[in-house]
Amino acid sequence: MAAPMPAPITITDIQTFVVQPVRERLVVVKVRTSRIEDMWQTARANGYWRNGPVLNNALSGVDQALWDILGKRAGLPLYMLLGGKCREAVATYTHADGSSIEEVLDNARAILAQGYRHVRLQLRNYGGGTPDQPRPEGALPGAYYDPNKYVRETLKLLEAAREHLPETTEILHDVHERLSPSDAVQLAKEVERFKLFFLEDALPPEQLDWLERMRAVCTTPLALGELFNHPFEWQRVIERRLVDFVRMHVSQMGGISPARNVAAMAAAHGIRTAWHGPADTSPVGHAANLHLELSSPNFGIHEWCRFPEHVYELFPGMPIVRGGYLYPNDAPGLGIDFVEALAAKYPPTDYLEEWTQARLPDGTAALP
């Protein structure tokens, strides 16, 4: 005799919590419901104005909550519902920056001493810091940087890293779209000799046609996608094999549902995943990335922001790094929870995000 079908479950409530346990503000979504695919497709299309970053971020919160609920109903960790483990843990990288090359290298050594093998090197944040030349009279305030100075100092940094860090160190660097397309092509060619693990965001989404020229002149591994939210953006670079790593912000692209499809598409084209994972990806988002990575044969690397201890109290069940690997806890669903009673301790505050007010030496507004 066949087992009775479970009663259909619909959304009964959606709650949102805005918290700021560190500098970045996080929005946590709690959903009380069951089905995923139909709800995702309906929610995406029903509002008509689809594929925008605001809608997709909201849709992602609901999507991740639905997958978590499904795993809990099944009594299985999410990676089992996505096909099962391809590995027991995932390799991670984290960031080493500083105000001088020596400080960056010292910070990198400290990271390597903790068992990490991959480290991203940045000198004075994106763009290399304040230009040497004075600003024009009456120039507007902003985060000024000099692209030429940035290139010169980045090449010196990477050269020093290859000379002084262990040869087994996997080095990453983020251009963060701070160069003109032609200068970005030149930089990708010049850093080829340093054998980077990848060069990140050498070009903005608006200039993807330059990727073919970049591919033609060098073999530097390229990672791209954190600003993508429209399917045509990632389909194009995957189908043409224009990047080596796709690193979309899973929250920006709509959640786990589209990300699992992208991972499968990338695998068929020999491209690995490196989902975006800064501090403004919440612990729930990092857990979602981890489950995708555990179940994807073409996993490349996990970006890890090293949350402080009190964030683990707010989000019990967070994945833990040991020896440079990020491990799941094997609890059902995403394996992570949110302590609503602690949320009030971390209310959001308004502040000016200075680094996004990027300007060239003459005061021209630039991409951040």
Tokens representing 266 are 């990338």
5, pLDDT greater than 90: no
Position 33 pLDDT exceeds 70: no
Cβ neighbours of 216 (radius 10 Å): 9
Is pLDDT above 70 for 195?
A: yes
**pLDDT value at 7 more than 60:** no
pTM for this one?
0.91
Choice between 28 and 218, residue whose per-residue pLDDT is larger = 218
* 133-138 contacts, C-beta under 8 A, 24 or more apart: 133/361, 135/361, 135/362, 135/363, 136/362, 136/363
Q: What integer pLDDT is reported at residue 338 of this predicted model? A: 93
pLDDT for residue 265: 98
Instruction: Give the rounded percent of residues in the chain with a pLDDT score beyond 70.
Output: 96
Dihedrals phi, psi of 144, to nearest 5 degrees? -75, 145
At 49, the pLDDT band (50, 70, 90 cuts) reads: confident
- Amino acid letter, residue 178: R
User: What is the predicted pLDDT for the residue at 40?
Assistant: 81
Average pLDDT over residues 278-286: 94
Mean pLDDT of 313-330: 96
| Residue 100 pLDDT class (50, 70, 90 cuts) | very high
Q: Is 84 exposed, middle or buried (0-12, 13-18, 19+ CB in 10 A)?
A: exposed
Single out the catalytic residue among 95, 176, 276, 286.
Answer: 176
pLDDT of 34 strictly over 90: no
The pLDDT, as a whole number, for residue 83 is 95
User: Is 176 marked active-site?
Assistant: yes
| pLDDT attached to residue 80 | 97
Has 327 been annotated as catalytic?
A: no
Is the C-alpha dihedral spanning 209, 214, 217, 218 positive or negative?
negative
Mean of the pLDDT values across residues 175-186? 97
- C-alpha pair distances (Å), 135 with each of 99, 225, 352: 21, 33, 21
Give dist(CA 305, CA 150) in Å, integer.
Answer: 24
More confident residue, 105 or 37: 105
Confidence band of 317 (pLDDT split at 50, 70, 90): very high
From CA 249, how far away is CA 274, in angstroms rounded? 10
In this prediction, residues 232-249 reach a mean pLDDT of 96
The radius of gyration of the chain from alpha carbons, rounded to an integer in Å, stands at 21
What's the pLDDT band for 2 if we cut at 50, 70, 90?
A: low
Distance CA 110, CA 102 (A): 12
Judge contact between 9 and 66, C-beta under 8 A: no
Which residues fall within 8 angstroms of residue 251, CB to CB, at 6 or more apart? 56, 57, 60, 61, 64, 281, 282, 285
Mapping DSSP to helix (H, G, I), strand (E, B) and coil, where does residue 90 land? strand
Model pLDDT, residue 228: 95
Quote the pLDDT of residue 10. Answer: 64
Spatial CA neighbour of 245 closest among 179, 182, 305, 303: 303
Using alpha carbons, select from 310, 295, 247, 255 the residue that is nearest to residue 273: 247
Give residue-wise pLDDT tens across range 250-262.
999 999 999 999 9
Mean pLDDT over 219-229 rounds to 96
| Helices and strands: H and E segment counts in the chain | 13, 14
Q: Above pLDDT 90, what percent of the chain?
A: 79
**For range 287-312, the mean pLDDT:** 97
Catalytic annotation, pick one of 79, 93, 116, 126: 126
Task: Specify the DSSP element, H or E, that contains 246.
Answer: strand 245-246
* Separation between Cα atoms, residue 290 and residue 170, nearest integer Å: 20
pLDDT tens for each residue of 124-176: 989 998 999 999 999 999 999 999 999 999 999 999 999 999 999 999 999 99
Q: What is the mean pLDDT of residues 311-324?
A: 96
What is the chain's mean pLDDT, rounded?
Answer: 93
Q: Are 291 and 318 in contact (CB under 8 A)?
A: no
The answer, yes or no, to whether residue 3 has pLDDT greater than 80, is no
Q: Crossing angle of helices 147-164/101-113, nearest 10°?
A: 50
Q: Which two tokens stand for residue 170?
A: 């996997």
